[in-house]
Amino acid sequence: MFKAVIFDLDGVIVDTAKYHFEAWNELAKKLGFEITTHQNEQLKGVSRIKSLDIILEWGHIDLTQEQKDILLIQKNKTYLEFINRLDKSDILPEIVNVLNYLKSNNTAIALGSASKNALPILEKLGIKSLFDAIVDGTVVEKAKPNPEVFLKAANKLGVAPKDCIVIEDARAGVEAANSAKMLSVGIGSKEVLSNANYILEDTSKLSEKFLDSLLKNEK
């Protein structure tokens, strides 16, 4: 019987994955190239610092730490401009219903995100109080696919990793959940998330019936 559900943030709770992509692409264009949507899949769930290193490698660009720090600040500034406009309407389909359903079912709820902007985003969306534990990029040292973020979340909830379900939109995040020995539910395409235990095209498919069958371990 599963006792907890750990949610990724960007791309699962809220449609901010597109803003990360736009902000990174704006930066890449200034460096003289563009990031494709296919390449962007490799950036999902990955920390800000690691994402920049990957992008610089794509552009064959070598920078000093000082130069990188400037780019990291610029990227976050662009991203913050996007998320400043966020409100409840940006929460992805079915997420509020699912959170309320889990609450009424006494299933623990945690956030497991690589983002350092997770808290202000949850506050803007008005759903922070629904989470029993929040683990984000400010307290995690090893980026997904390392399982640290999800293991920390399970620990905070006092639930064994094997009793946790993780909902993720990134291949690296699914890998992290699998390494933590948790059940992984991927949100997105089968091609990208082939490593997930279950794959749903988008969050609208997160029905009470689906979750109920997972929680009762009937699937």
Contact 153, 111 (CB under 8 A): yes
148 binds ligand B16 (CB under 6 A): no
- Provide the minimum distance between the beta carbon of 46 and ligand B16 in the complex, in angstroms, as a whole number: 6
Determine if 44 is a binding residue for ligand B16 (CB under 6 A): yes
Sorted by sequence, the CB contacts under 8 Å of residue 44 that are 6+ apart come out as 10, 11, 17, 20, 169, 170, 171, 172, 173
Say how many residues touch Mg ion, by CB under 5 A. Answer: 6
Question: What residue 20 binds from Mg ion, ligand B16, none (CB within 5 to 8 A, per partner kind)?
Answer: ligand B16
Judge whether 163 counts as a catalytic residue: no
- Residue 111's φ and ψ, nearest 5 degrees, are -105, 135
Catalytic residue list contains 8? yes
DSSP 148-210: HHHHHHHHHHT--GGGEEEEESSHHHHHHHHHTT-EEEEES-TTTTTTSSEEESSGGG--HHH
* 171 touching ligand B16, by CB under 6 A: no
Residue 28 or 43 with smaller CB distance to ligand B16: 43
Report residue 31 CA to chain centroid gap.
27
Nearest CB to ligand B16, comparing residues 116 and 208:
116
Please report, as ranges, the residues that interact with ligand B16 according to CB under 6 A: 8-11, 17, 20, 43-48, 51, 76, 113-117, 137, 170
Please report, as ranges, the residues that interact with Mg ion according to CB under 5 A: 8, 10-11, 45, 169-170
